[in-house]
A = this chain, B = another copy of it.
Amino acid sequence: MSDDDNERRLSLSEIQLLATNVLTANGVSAAQADAVARNVTAAEADECRSHGVYRLLGYVRAVANGKADGRAVPKLVQETPAILRVDAGRGFAPLANEVGRPALIAAAQSLGIAVLAINHCYHNSAMWADLEPLAEAGLVSIGMTAGQRTVAPHGGSKPIFGTNPFAFGWPRPDGNPFVFDFATSAVARGEIELHQRAGKSIPLGWAIDADGQPTIDPALGLAGALLPFGGHKGTALALMVELLAGPMIGDLTSQESFAEDEGLGSPPLGGELIIAFDPQRFLGAGFASNMARAETLFASITNQDGVRLAGDRRLEARARSASEGVMVPIRLLEELDAARSSGIA
């Protein structure tokens, strides 16, 4: 059977409509559904399938089991001229970001730096999508969120951290912004699940078993813990994410988020922190020349054979998807159709 028999081609507007329908049929408000659907569609367009329509099942499950509030109305408070706070009310991250973003942009433009702290939010979405609109508004940004505990510290045996993604955005004068977004774990948990389904072993360095021993068996790794990328340095970064997007903004650590879920397998509940900088406020009359200096830096990277700028693959996929649409596994479409018509128990 060829790939084509297993997959169906959908346009991006069909993806957006599918996502919206699956969510609203399961009690998600139009505002929450639209924001999630935009995120999911952007992920599909960029061929980040792990954050695409597949994620809708997790969103719907979290609403069905009563953990997430699909009708939450995020509340924005400006706590200081530089701190914007959004209480997501156990709703989803995309709408909370949309509610906080205009005030974050205004504060960063006024002061040069500002921060958006999002609390009580289910973050199940691609985080680069939270930063890209800031870059399009001319801002530099850093974003992070904790997760549910699945990652052990380097040298340790017990999971403590979530996959704790860290993201960065930089506006580029001509063309698309530079945005990277990486998990501080060596790989995503889904990557190990894919190996398990395919009956393949995993490389050493991805996971440890429940006794803390290195393993190449995906089942043992899933029962144990993921490892951070980059040894003790990746561990340090995962801990920083955990502290900044958790206790510093009054929200859960990954261990607390895991406990809060009571084994239901919902997306992670917790905080998200976004720092925005306005380079125009830092550079003044030197703005154009310094942004050009950054372009020289980018060119010195992309000029090297075998090197790609983080995010470049996504942008290439995006260009293709706009005209050609994207492929979605038929089995997944059937699951989504079932979720749309009869809901998730």
Contacts and interface: CB of A to CB of B under 8 A. Distances in A.
B294 A247 contact: yes
A68 interface: no
A280 to B, nearest CB: 10
Interface stretch (A19-27, A90-98, A154-162): A154-162
A286 B243 CA distance: 15
Total identical chains: 2
A76 interface: no
Given A112-B79, A281-B79, A293-B253, A307 B155 contact: yes
A307 to B, nearest CB: 4
Nearest to A181: B236
A138 interface: no
B111 A81 contact: yes
Contacts of A111: 80-83, 111
30 contacts: A79-B112, A79-B281, A80-B110, A81-B111, A82-B82, A82-B111, A113-B113, A113-B115, A153-B301, A153-B307, A155-B307, A156-B306, A158-B300, A158-B304, A182-B236, A229-B231, A233-B234, A236-B310, A237-B237, A239-B297, A239-B310, A243-B297, A244-B277, A247-B279, A247-B293, A247-B294, A248-B290, A248-B294, A249-B282, A255-B297
